[in-house]
Chains A and B, each alone.
Chain A
Amino acid sequence: MNLRRDVFQAIADPTRRAILLLVATQAMTAGAIASNFDTARPTVSKHLQILTECELVAQTQNGREVYYHINAKNMKEVADFIEPFRQMWDDRFNKLEAIMKTYQTKKTT
């Protein structure tokens, strides 16, 4: 299995990215995570399963509850994790450029 490619596939999905954001600063139960989404609970469970398989999130048992937390340890080198960050800035800047081009046209006409 190509883990690296799978990681990027995993984060390509907006709901999974949202889940990663949620568990980045605090461990949460599947129920608490699901309450943040309009999607059905089983769908969120499926996303959690994929994230767990890709080792992006890990589970901890606490009494009867299972908590999910972030686990980014498998992306150790900067080169591995800089690409999504660069993509985010590129998207933002592309948007900025498009907005200002429209702005410019409006101003000159």
Chain B
Amino acid sequence: MELKTKISAENGQHDLLITREFDLPLELLFKAHVEPEIVAQWMGTKVLKLENKKHGGWAFETSDANGNVVFRADGVFHEFVPNQKITRTFEMENAPFGVQLEFLEFEKLTEDTSKISIHTVFKSGDLRDQMLRLPFAQGLNMAHNRLQDAANKLK
């Protein structure tokens, strides 16, 4: 099946663009990015902090089944305009990728559909390519699957 998520990352550039259209009203798409409980569910990570305002901070942390922290990322909001845009920094702890700048734009398409664009800027093209090379992306999914397993056991 065709993936609904598009990613554009040109060779040699130091940024990437993720876009995706949703069968959701704009308000619900935006809400999914600001309510800690909801973010935790779809990002598959624990939300330690999510201060949705200019100069507010955020922090995510994911542990494996044994309680070892396998992923931690944090940053600061620079712009926060409800239902329009979020500009924030993103940094993975204990990872050599440096700080990234993320521009999230939320767009209404129709009453029931919306679109998100995430433009991520890295310090260099090499850093971008290093981060894109599978392990972290895959690892996050792994952590998520484990959380999912844990959640299923609790049911």
Contacts and interface: CB of A to CB of B under 8 A. Distances in A.
A84 B137 contact: yes
Interface residues of B, number: 48
- Chain B interface, >50% SS class: mixed
B23 A86 contact: no
Interface in B130-145: 130, 132-143, 145
B4 A90 contact: yes
A93 B68 CA distance: 26
Interface of B: 3-7, 9-11, 18, 20, 22-25, 28-29, 31-32, 38, 41-44, 64-66, 68, 70-71, 94-96, 116, 129-130, 132-143, 145
Contacts of A17: 134-135, 138-139, 141-142
A75 B11 CA distance: 13
Interface residues of A, number: 39
A2 interface: no
Contact of A85 (B42, B66, B71, B132): B132
B43 A104 contact: no
Contacts, number: 128
Contacts of B130: 72
Nearest to A104: B28
Given A77-B11, A78-B11, A96-B29, 18 more contacts: A11-B134, A14-B145, A18-B143, A20-B138, A24-B95, A75-B134, A78-B132, A84-B137, A91-B141, A92-B44, A93-B5, A95-B44, A96-B32, A96-B38, A97-B23, A100-B29, A104-B24, A104-B28
A93 B96 CA distance: 26
Contacts of B66: 36, 38
